[in-house]
Amino acid sequence: MVCSLEGKLLVGNLERSARKAAAWLVEKRPVRDIRDWGISFSLWPVHFTTACCGAEFAASAAPKYDAERLGFLPFIGIRQCNLLFIEGTLSKKMAEAAIWVYEQMPEPKFVVGMGACAIDGGIFWNSYNIVRPMDILPVHVFIPGCPPRPEAVAQAIIMLQRKIRRGELVRYETR
Amino acid sequence: MISSGERELELLIGPQHPASGHMRLVAKVDGDVVVELRPNIGYVHRSVEKLAEVKKYLQIIPLVERPSLADTTANNLAYVMALEKLLGIEPPERAKYLRTLLAEINRIHSHLYGLGIHGVMIGSSTAYMWCFGDREPFLELAQELTGARLTYSYIIPGGVRRDLPAGLGERAERVLRYMENRMRDYFNLYFNNPVVRARLEGVGVLSRHDAINLGITGPNLRASGVAYDVRRAEPYAAYPELEFDIVTEEAGDSFARVMVRVREIVESMRIIRQVIRKIPEGPILHESYEKLIPPKLRESMKQRGMVKFPSVFANLRVPPGEAISRVEGGRGEVVFHIVSDGKLSPYRMRMVTPSFRNVILFEHLTRGVRVADIPAIYGSLDYFPPEADR
Amino acid sequence: MRLDDLRKEIEEKLNGLGAEVSSKDPNLIEVRVGRDKLVEAASKLREMGLDHVKAVTGIDYPKERFEVVYITSSYSDSLSHFLVNLRVSLPYDDPRIPSLVRVWPSVLYQEQEEKDLLGIEFEGNPRMEERLLLPDSYDGIPPLRKEFKVRVEGIDA
């Protein structure tokens, strides 16, 4: 393909080259650091309550603990969110929905497993109707507790932010 | 999907939606009008009843608390009361008052939770922020009494786990006075707000006859004018000695259901004041269990005002038989039916929670309403899916 | 009203249905009827003012019988203190029972749950074909039956 740009002649696929250049640039310092810093302070969890830890999750977004000061805003639309909180037990019926929700979220996306049940079933470890989240989703941070206190939720957010800023989690694939 | 010639559209709401919803509502809509709505529950079914059959009696206390995390005391108390009926013991007076105290603190913060979530559903974030913010002082009180924010496991067979901490009375009084002042703000901003009234009044009307017929329970029942409260019908804990009114409303609509909760908060505050004034001195654990504790440990526990789960409880054996207990929790009546065969775990434990009994309202109240009214009705039921699914 | 009075009233009302009525302090009355007389007995109790069902418990005694207990009570001031258990035994290999949803609409979901988790068929309940709590794809023995084992804690758990 030959494109004409302000009178100059360019040879090759311009779109592909631009994509390649952007992908190269966004993985280079300092652009990468700025990008990760930006992502780490705009973590929007999707409103997806899987079990009873949702009560403490709601409390952590409420005035006393105010997770919004960490750039953490529970939001309705899946397509605008980049964080999935597994709030407690994941039943078999809910696991299906969790995968749908996860797949609809845009990249880069993160998963936090909240509560003992999200780690290894917790008090319901031998129940016939639960799924361990790490079997079906890539979980980045676990929060122990039954239920975890809102402080622990804030701690998890900070841990996730650090992980993102260290550049461990965000990878753009060149397509 | 609309196929040619059909007017009805099937609308799936959930399980991912802005409300506190771990359930799916399957609505058939004709334009903006709901023709039929079916709740599809089971998204948080964790088989509490089955797991209870393989756990020891004391291990079940935390298990029954988990399904209704915002209202744990009711389940805890109902379960322990059923056990006590089988064991044939009666807790000491002071323990009864402490149980009442925690139950009422729990009722207040459970109602505030419900009101807050309702606020989110009808698009009033202020209500959510206020209710959840004002819930915290009560959680702090409960935390001081029991050591946990939500999952107290405070009530054990024959008594309670901790004594009243010194100075809790004054701090409770401060919290109550704060809440009373806030109540005025709530009315000004929220309950007397014309927008809120327009969204809630006359929406989802449940008649008295239907409420009784469908076996509805809790504030949803009392909002339809039925003065039924387990605290009166079959008094337990310290309620026979306390003065309180059963709050009822006549209208039966969403606003009435919200109002019942608000007025119950005021009643609960009245009960807390009485408990703190009238609480008798004495032991907090039944003497037959107290004497099983080694004397040295017993002394130190008396001094610290705490009961550790003594090892004697680990192999608690309950005589064969059946017991049914009921307790008025924040959302309504909790019923436990325990069948014991004299072993270390119950043979069968049936746990019927208020949310499960109120599920039927989703299909009953939403027939013929507008789609935008679904959240206004859903929220006013104070429905908590994990509690219904168990 | 006293417990004994209520018991006598129920005994009179259910006369001829072969019901065994017993009472237990402080407020519990047990009524045991046969499967074929269940609907009739339930209607009689409903006429007395027992207007709702608090719980439907199914109990599994393996190889022996199933028991279904309807815990009923009333919202009226005079009766709300009492609980009346309506109890039916079913043969183990034929767990069918007429549904009481016409008598007490409040049992709709409770019966569906017992069918879902315990496999007792309530004939006449419109929700018998649907799953309630278990996933739609669940296929196996109903989990609340005793033959369904869950893992337990132990050295080799």
Q: Using one digit for the tens of pLDDT, what is the confidence trace for B166-201?
A: 888 889 999 999 999 888 888 888 888 888 888 888
Report the CATH number that the domain containing residue C54 is assigned in CATH. 3.30.460.80
* Predicted pLDDT of residue C27: 87
Check B22 against A146: CB less than 8 A apart.
Answer: no
Question: Of the candidates C134, C148, C150, which has its C-beta nearest A126's C-beta?
Answer: C150
d(CA A104, CA A90): 18
CB contact C139 to A (< 8 Å): no
For B187, the token pair is 């009315």
* Predicted pLDDT of residue A174: 47
Residue C12 lies in a domain: yes
d(CA B117, CA B109): 12
- Edge-first strand listing for the sheet containing C20-24: C20-24, C28-33, C83-91, C65-73, C52-61
Task: Look over chain C and give the mean of its residue pLDDT values, rounded to a whole number.
Answer: 86
The closest of C111, C92, C88, C93 to C101, measured between CA atoms, is: C111
Q: What is the β-pairing status of strands B24-30 and B33-40? A: antiparallel
* Residue C156 pLDDT class (50, 70, 90 cuts): very low
The closest of A45, C149, A52, C126 to B43, measured between CA atoms, is: A52
Check A92 against C143: CB less than 8 A apart.
Answer: no
Residue A99 lies in a domain: yes
| pLDDT (mean) for C80-95 | 88
Number of Cβ within 10 Å of residue B277's Cβ equals: 8
CB A135 within 8 A of CB A111: no
Give me the number of domains chain C comprises. Answer: 1
What domain range includes position C65?
3-93
Contacts of C75 in chain B (CB under 8 A): 212, 221, 226, 228
* Predicted pLDDT of residue A10: 62
Residue C110 has pLDDT above 50, yes or no: yes
Contacts of C134 in chain A (CB under 8 A): 129
CB contact B236 to C (< 8 Å): no
Running along chain B, 390 residues long, what does each successive block of 10 average in pLDDT? 68 73 83 87 87 87 88 91 89 90 92 88 86 90 88 87 86 91 86 87 88 89 89 87 89 89 90 90 80 76 71 78 90 91 88 90 87 86 86
- Mutation site, C66, C89, C113, interface B, largest B CB count within 10 A: C113
Whether the predicted interface score ipTM is above 0.95: no
d(CA C114, CA C120): 6
d(CA B100, CA B77): 10
Residue A67 has pLDDT above 80, yes or no: yes
Residue C151 lies in a domain: no
Q: What is the β-pairing status of strands B333-340 and B348-352? A: antiparallel
CB contact A129 to C (< 8 Å): yes
d(CA B70, CA A77): 26
The closest of A125, C111, C109 to B55, measured between CA atoms, is: A125
The closest of B37, B69, B64, B136 to B384, measured between CA atoms, is: B69
pTM: 0.89
Residue A173 lies in a domain: no
Number of Cβ within 10 Å of residue B278's Cβ equals: 11
Contacts of C59 in chain B (CB under 8 A): 339, 347-348
CA atoms within 13 A on the CB side of B333: 29
For A79, the token pair is 């397509």
- CA distances (Å), origin B198, targets B3, B20, B250, B376: 35, 23, 18, 11
Residue B342 is given by DSSP the state: S
Q: What is the 3-state secondary structure (H, E, C) of B60-75?
A: HHHHHHHHHHHHHHHH
Residue A149 lies in a domain: yes
CB contact A123 to C (< 8 Å): no
Residue A34 has pLDDT above 70, yes or no: yes
Q: C-contacting residues of B 313-352, CB under 8 Å?
A: 324, 326, 333, 335, 337, 339, 347-348, 350, 352
Residue A90 lies in a domain: yes
Report the CATH number that the domain containing residue A150 is assigned in CATH. 3.40.50.12280
Give me the number of domains chain A comprises. Answer: 1
Question: Could you tell me the end-to-end alpha-carbon distance of chain A, in angstroms, rounded to an integer?
Answer: 19
What domain range includes position A76?
38-165
CATH label, B4-388, candidates 3.40.50.2000, 1.10.645.10, 2.60.40.1250, 1.10.3720.10: 1.10.645.10
Helix-helix angle B93-121:B373-380, to 10 degrees = 170
- CA distances (Å), origin B200, targets B119, B122, B129, B264: 11, 9, 20, 19
Report the chain A residue with the minimal C-alpha distance to residue C140: A128
Give the H/E segment covering residue B333: strand B333-340
* Predicted pLDDT of residue B104: 92
Contacts of A63 in chain B (CB under 8 A): 129, 132-133, 136
Domain boundaries, chain B: 4-388
C-alpha Rg value of chain A to the nearest Å: 20
d(CA B18, CA B9): 21
Residue A121 has pLDDT above 60, yes or no: yes
Helix-helix angle B254-278:B93-121, to 10 degrees = 150
* Predicted pLDDT of residue B108: 92
Check B46 against A51: CB less than 8 A apart.
Answer: yes
Residue A173 has pLDDT above 60, yes or no: no
